[in-house]
Amino acid sequence: MEPVFYNAAAEGKIEVVKKFAKPLNQLLTPNGNTVLHIHLTTLIEGSESSTVFVKEILRICPSLLSKANVKGETPLHIAARYGHTAIVEVLIEHAKRREQDLESEVKVPIESALQPELESGVDKAVKKMLKTKNKENETAMHEAVRNNHLEVVKLLAKNGKDISYSANDAGETPLYMAVERNYREVVLHILENCKSLTHDGPLGGTTLHAAVIWNDDVMTGEIQEKIEPKALSALINQKHKQRLTPLHCAAYFNGYSTIERLLKIDISMAYKKDTKDMTALHIAADRGHVKTVNEILKYCPDCSELVDKRGWNALHFAVNSSHKDVVNVILNRSSLSNLLNEKDESGNTPLLHSKSLPYIKDLMHHDRVNKMAFNKQNLDAYDIALTSEELSKEKESVNQRSAIMFQWSKSCPVKFGDNEIAFPRNNHPAKFGRFLGEHYVKPKNFLVRNTGRLYCIS
Domain end marker among 286, 306, 326: 306
In a domain, 176, yes or no: no
Residue 14, domain CATH: 1.25.40.20
Instruction: Provide the pLDDT for residue 13.
Output: 92
In a domain, 326, yes or no: no
Q: Per 3-state DSSP, what percentage of the chain is helix, strand, and coil (rounded to 5)?
A: 55, 5, 40
Nearest to 347 by CA among 370, 327, 377, 317: 377
Instruction: Give the distance, in angstroms, between the CA of residue 195 and the centroid of all CA atoms in the same chain.
Output: 26
Residue ranges of alpha helices (H) inside 307-412 are 314-320, 324-331, 360-365, 381-386, 389-392, 398-411
* Start-to-end Cα distance in the chain: 97
Q: Return d(Cα 130, Cα 156) in angstroms, integer.
A: 7
Nearest to 89 by CA among 148, 158, 146: 158
Instruction: Count the neighbouring beta carbons within 10 Å of the beta carbon of residue 417.
Output: 10
- 317 DSSP assignment: H
Give yes or no: residues 4 and 104 share one domain.
yes
Give yes or no: residues 44 and 130 share one domain.
yes
Instruction: Provide the pLDDT for residue 208.
Output: 87
Question: Which residue type does 428 have?
Answer: H
How big is the chain by its Cα radius of gyration, in Å? 35
Give yes or no: residues 2 and 119 share one domain.
yes
In a domain, 443, yes or no: no
The H or E element that residue 3 is part of is helix 3-11
In a domain, 356, yes or no: no
- Tens place of pLDDT per residue across the chain (458 aa): 899 999 999 999 999 999 998 999 999 999 999 999 999 999 876 566 689 999 999 999 999 999 999 999 999 999 999 999 999 999 999 998 876 665 565 455 554 444 444 455 668 889 999 999 999 999 999 999 999 999 999 999 999 988 989 999 999 999 999 999 999 999 999 999 988 788 888 888 888 888 888 888 888 888 888 877 666 767 766 666 667 888 999 999 998 888 988 998 889 999 999 999 999 999 999 999 999 999 999 999 999 999 999 999 999 999 999 899 999 999 999 999 999 999 999 999 999 886 666 667 788 888 999 988 999 988 887 777 776 655 455 444 444 545 555 454 444 444 334 444 444 444 444 443 433 343 333 333 333 333 333 333 33
DSSP class per residue in 273-290: --TT---HHHHHHHHT-H
Surface-to-core class of residue 59, CB atoms within 10 Å of its CB (0-12 exposed, 13-18 middle, 19+ buried)? exposed
Q: Are 88 and 114 in contact (CB under 8 A)?
A: no
Instruction: Give the distance, in angstroms, between the CA of residue 429 and the centroid of all CA atoms in the same chain.
Output: 52
Question: Which residue type does 9 have?
Answer: A
Query: Which is it for strands 446-450 and 413-416: parallel, antiparallel or unpaired?
Result: antiparallel
Nearest to 78 by CA among 10, 25, 22: 10
Give the phi and the psi of residue 454 in degrees, each rounded to 5. -110, 135
What total number of domains does the chain contain? 2
Give yes or no: residues 118 and 7 share one domain.
yes
Give yes or no: residues 105 and 9 share one domain.
yes
Instruction: Give the distance, in angstroms, between the CA of residue 399 and the centroid of all CA atoms in the same chain.
Output: 46
Q: Return d(Cα 160, Cα 178) in angstroms, integer.
A: 17
Q: Which domain holds residue 30?
A: 1-135
Instruction: Provide the pLDDT for residue 100.
Output: 64
- Quote the Cα angle for 167-32-27, to 5°: 140
Instruction: Count the neighbouring beta carbons within 10 Å of the beta carbon of residue 327.
Output: 24
In a domain, 447, yes or no: no
Q: Return d(Cα 282, Cα 352) in angstroms, integer.
A: 18
Q: Are 265 and 236 in contact (CB under 8 A)?
A: yes
Q: Return d(Cα 102, Cα 113) in angstroms, integer.
A: 16
Q: Are 357 and 390 in contact (CB under 8 A)?
A: yes
Give yes or no: residues 205 and 295 share one domain.
yes
Nearest to 395 by CA among 354, 435, 355, 441: 435
